[in-house]
Amino acid sequence: MSSLRKPTKPAMKKPANVSPFDMTGISSIRNDSMSSFSSTRTRSVNSTTLDIDFKKNSSDDLIKKIEHLVTSNHSLEEENTVLRNLINEESKNFGIDERRLLMLKCQIYQLEKQAR
Kindly report the CA angle at 94 between 92 and 99, in degrees rounded to 5? 115
Is the pLDDT reported for residue 106 higher than 70?
yes
Q: Between residues 31 and 16, which one has the greater pLDDT?
A: 16
Q: How far, in Å, CA of 26 to CA of 47, rounded?
A: 39
Percent of the chain residues topping a pLDDT of 90: 0
pLDDT in tens, 30-42: 444 444 444 444 4
Query: With contact defined as beta carbons under 8 Å apart, do 86 and 103 qualify?
Result: yes
Is the pLDDT reported for residue 11 higher than 50?
yes
Is the pLDDT reported for residue 105 higher than 70?
yes
Query: What's the chain's average pLDDT?
Result: 63
